[in-house]
């Protein structure tokens, strides 16, 4: 795999943490996501806004670490389809690069529960801001 990377929600100020568990051809990534109870709404399910935050965070951060760690990515569009409510505090994220150019990219993210049930699917479009040294 070549990449061993994880977050710590206590340091990163996120109500969840995650780690990359598998990378396939630098285009597909599987991620374990560990939620805290702060992600759960008053109905006892994962808050819809958390789906969007998780999709944006794991989609952007993973590919920034894998593809161009010296560049910046800016989310320009995020679409989330909520498939099924989640009560799980552990999720699997499947992230796949759909398209990447010098100026933009597109990623799909699927969040799956521990029993294999798809909870939400997102499409993330982003701008690529290249950093050039010695300019």
pLDDT in tens, 73-125: 889 999 999 999 999 899 999 999 999 888 898 999 999 998 999 999 999 99
Q: The whole model's pTM is what?
A: 0.85
What pLDDT score does 110 carry? 98
Domain membership flag for residue 50: yes
Domain membership of residue 74 as a residue range: 13-129
Tell me the CATH number at 68. Answer: 3.10.129.10
Domain membership flag for residue 112: yes
Query: How many whole angstroms separate alpha carbon 105 and alpha carbon 135?
Result: 24
Domain membership flag for residue 19: yes
Structural domain count, the chain: 1
Domain membership flag for residue 53: yes
């Amino acid at each position: 795999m070549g990449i061993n990377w994880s977050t710590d929600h206590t340091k990163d100020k996120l109500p969840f943490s995650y780690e990359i568990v598998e990378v396939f051809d630098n285009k597909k990534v599987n991620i374990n996501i560990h939620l805290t109870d702060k992600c759960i709404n008053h109905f006892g399910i994962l808050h819809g806004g958390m789906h969007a935050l998780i999709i944006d965070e794991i989609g952007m951060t993973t590919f920034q670490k894998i593809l161009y760690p010296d560049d910046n990515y800016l989310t320009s569009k995020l679409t989330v389809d909520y498939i099924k409510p989640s009560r799980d505090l552990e999720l699997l994220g499947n992230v796949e690069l759909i398209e990447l150019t010098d100026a933009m990219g597109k990623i799909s993210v699927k969040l799956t529960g521990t029993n294999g049930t798809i909870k939400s699917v997102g499409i993330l479009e982003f701008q690529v801001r290249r950093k050039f040294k010695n300019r």
